[in-house]
């Protein structure tokens, strides 16, 4: 009983109960790809983003230790914790490795003890490595079971990797369907580039689907158009990092995205 109550309360902090949608700002890039512009000093970044009032902020365990005071008190964003790591996107940077690794770094129970509202883990398809995909499925299934036991919402970042086109409709649809079947509470995935194909992706999900920002877009207008189209297709919000953190004015970007995500207004 109590785990269900905890789950409902935490989900209501992650997804806006009025609009039914959400804006999550990801600031866990250092764990995945190392130093990038816009994420340091971490406490200043998190404080500035928090004051812009997104529904949630996504961090890694070490960053939470450094900035947890930002989340104290009323009217603070929900806290999402990254519980696994990979080198998949570390191409061309120090530490590049042709072999993909994936590993858990903290358990759902340990995350709950920190006081988070939800956790996020990866699930990859298309990398032509059945062993890795099997290990990731095992990790996802285990996380789903453990999260349900303690009432902790699980976001699954379900994406194609190691393929020619990571935004290809059929591959994204496959990733979303598998994550949905495996126990995700929310799915984060790539936008497929047009409303019709993404609407088809969403038809194969039984949980809310959010679009990820990925690399910084070529223009602000491109970001707005992507979000507008995704919302028209039926997405329930965004999980953006660089397209907010590396913007000229990150706080204004959050406000502008909020008009699209929560109010249905175009830019």
**pLDDT confidence of residue 97:** 59
Task: Look at strands 78-82 and 56-59 and give their pairing.
Answer: parallel
Domains and CATH numbers, the chain: 2-263 (3.20.20.70)
CB neighbourhood size of 195 (10 A): 16
CA proximity to 42, closest of 18, 25, 66, 61: 66
Predicted TM-score of the model (pTM): 0.96
Strand locations in the chain (E): 22-26, 56-59, 78-82, 84-86, 102-104, 118-125, 154-160, 186-189, 209-212, 237-240
Low-confidence ranges of the chain (pLDDT < 50): none
Tokens read off for 47: 């404080």
**pLDDT confidence of residue 94:** 57
CB proximity list for 74: less than 8 A, separation 6 or greater: none
CA proximity to 260, closest of 216, 225, 220, 214: 225
pLDDT for 233-244, tens place per residue? 999 999 999 999
Sign of CA dihedral 140, 144, 145, 146: positive
- By CB atoms closer than 10 A (0-12, 13-18, 19+), residue 166 is middle
For residues 171 and 148, give the distance between their C-alpha atoms in angstroms, rounded to a whole number.
27
Contacts by 162-166, CB closer than 8 A, 24 or more apart:
162/88, 162/100, 162/124, 162/126, 162/127, 162/128, 162/129, 163/126, 163/127, 166/126, 166/190, 166/214
Q: What share of the chain is helix, strand, coil (3-state, %, to 5)?
A: 45, 20, 35
Which positions are annotated as active-site residues? 188
**pLDDT confidence of residue 91:** 74
**pLDDT confidence of residue 102:** 95
Q: Are the CB atoms for 157 and 190 separated by under 8 Å?
A: no
CA proximity to 133, closest of 166, 189, 86: 86
Cα 245 to chain centroid distance, Å, stands at: 14
């Amino acid at each position: 009983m109590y785990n269900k109550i905890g789950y409902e309360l935490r989900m209501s902090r992650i997804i806006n109960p009025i609009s039914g949608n959400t804006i999550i700002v990801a600031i866990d890039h250092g764990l995945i790809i190392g130093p990038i512009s816009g994420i340091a000093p971490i406490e200043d970044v998190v404080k500035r983003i928090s004051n812009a009032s997104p529904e949630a902020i996504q961090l890694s365990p070490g960053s939470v230790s450094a900035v947890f005071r930002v989340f104290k008190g009323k009217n603070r964003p929900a806290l999402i914790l990254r519980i696994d790591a990979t080198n998949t996107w570390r191409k061309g940077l120090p530490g590049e490795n042709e072999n993909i690794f994936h590993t858990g770094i903290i358990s759902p129970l340990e995350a709950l003890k920190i006081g988070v509202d939800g956790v996020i883990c990866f699930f990859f398809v298309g990398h032509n490595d059945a062993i890795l995909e099997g290990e990731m499925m095992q990790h996802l299934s285990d996380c789903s079971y453990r999260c349900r036991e303690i009432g902790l919402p699980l976001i699954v970042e379900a994406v194609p990797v190691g393929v020619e086109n990571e935004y290809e409709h059929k591959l994204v649809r496959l990733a979303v369907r598998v994550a949905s079947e495996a126990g995700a509470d929310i799915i984060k995935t790539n936008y497929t580039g047009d409303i019709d194909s993404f609407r088809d992706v969403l038809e194969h999900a039984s949980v809310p689907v959010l679009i990820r920002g990925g690399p910084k877009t070529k223009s602000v207008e491109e970001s707005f158009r992507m979000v507008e189209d995704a919302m028209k297709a039926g997405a329930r919000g965004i999980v953006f990092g660089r397209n907010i953190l590396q913007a000229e004015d990150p706080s204004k970007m959050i406000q502008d995205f909020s008009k699209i995500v929560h109010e249905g207004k175009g830019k």
